């Protein structure tokens, strides 16, 4: 599956008005929109998809529905991270059994894990499935920062860990991955404000929730970067940067859900303890989106 490339769109998990139930028809619409817009892959149940806020039964429903609804129109990359190795293994197996092309694993933890524990976690998941794993490094959400050296130890030690998603926001990590990995380890950018530099550094793709709102700009940036048109890539990047920054600072589920509501797709609010976007925030978002339409 090393053909995973380009703009990888994160889906939200829509909830009913009271926040208690899933709204699968709305999820289907959001997936159809993303695919129609031209994204190269779909990534359900990440931070944007509030995967950490779902019960196991809900997680299973969203995973199964998403994979089935994408229906192989593009690859699906299902985020299976969980606090215990056993639960992450269960999710990875479930995703694979239902047809996920790739699973993404962030070492989520309560206790600070040693490097040996992190490696063992990935090895256990790798041993239990046959599909590729995208290793995901995001210390801001997981509390665990994996060094490039550790990441490469995992890539070399676990056969199906074949891709790395880097979300520290430190471009040097990507340069180091490229150098120490001899250019053999495909890496993906997970930090929106780093999109331009990441492509310049050789990132194969950009994992982002932004295509829910501005797919054309995201895709045009990727295409310009691939064509080596730096001036055009830079212009496109600066146009979308205010929104990329806003999404990051306002919190992914809150901002994307508010933005989808703006575009006429009602997907409910995020789950508590996460608040929906404030009125002031909604005003800012409307203003930014107006300049981009």
Burial call 22-54: b when 16+ CB within 10 Å, e when fewer: bbbebbbbbbebbbebbbbbbbbbbbbbbbbbb
Sheet of strand 187-189: strand arrangement? 41-43, 6-10, 205-208, 187-189, 161-166, 133-137, 102-105, 77-79
Answer yes or no: 136 catalytic.
yes
- The secondary structure of 216-233, three-state, reads HHHHHHHHHHHCCCHHHH
Q: What is the DSSP letter of 159?
A: T
Q: What is the separation, in whole angstroms, between the first and last Cα of the chain?
A: 34
**Positions of E strands within 23-121:** 41-43, 77-79, 102-105
Selection from 71, 77, 96 nearest residue 11 by Cα: 77
**Positions of E strands within the chain:** 6-10, 41-43, 77-79, 102-105, 133-137, 161-166, 187-189, 205-208
Which residue of the set 165, 176, 204, 257 is catalytic? 165
Which residue of the set 122, 136, 188, 222 is catalytic? 136
Selection from 5, 8, 92, 81 nearest residue 43 by Cα: 8
Distance between CA atoms of 222 and 201, rounded to whole angstroms?
Answer: 13
Answer yes or no: 165 catalytic.
yes
Tokens representing residue 11 in the block: 């889906």
Q: Could you list the active site residues?
A: 136, 165
């Amino acid at each position: 599956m090393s053909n995973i490339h380009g703009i990888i769109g994160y889906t939200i998990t829509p909830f009913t008005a009271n926040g208690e139930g899933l709204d699968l028809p709305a999820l289907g619409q959001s997936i159809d929109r993303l695919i129609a817009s031209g994204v190269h892959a779909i990534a359900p149940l990440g931070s944007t998809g509030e995967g950490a806020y779902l019960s196991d039964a809900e997680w299973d429903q969203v995973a199964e529905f998403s994979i089935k609804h994408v229906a192989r129109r593009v690859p699906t990359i299902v985020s299976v991270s969980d606090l215990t190795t056993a639960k992450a293994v269960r999710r990875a197996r479930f995703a694979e059994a239902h047809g996920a092309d790739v699973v993404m694993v962030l070492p989520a933890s309560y206790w600070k894990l040693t490097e040996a524990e992190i490696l063992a976690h990935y090895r256990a998941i790798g041993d239990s499935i046959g599909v590729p794993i995208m290793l995901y490094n995001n210390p801001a959400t997981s509390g665990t920062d994996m060094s490039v050296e550790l990441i490469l130890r995992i890539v070399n030690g676990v056969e199906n860990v074949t891709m790395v998603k880097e979300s520290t926001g430190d471009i040097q990590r990507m340069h180091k991955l490229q150098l120490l990995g001899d250019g053999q380890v495909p890496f993906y950018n997970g930090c929106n404000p780093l999109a331009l530099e990441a492509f310049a550094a050789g990132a194969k793709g950009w994992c982002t929730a932004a295509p829910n709102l501005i797919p054309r700009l995201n895709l045009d940036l990727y295409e310009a970067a691939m064509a080596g048109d730096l001036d055009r890539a830079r212009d496109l990047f600066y146009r979308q940067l205010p929104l990329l920054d806003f999404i990051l600072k306002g919190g992914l589920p809150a901002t994307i859900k508010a933005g989808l509501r703006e575009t006429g797709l009602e997907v409910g609010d995020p789950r508590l303890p996460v608040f929906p976007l404030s009125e002031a925030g909604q005003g800012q978002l409307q203003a930014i989106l107006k300049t981009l339409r």
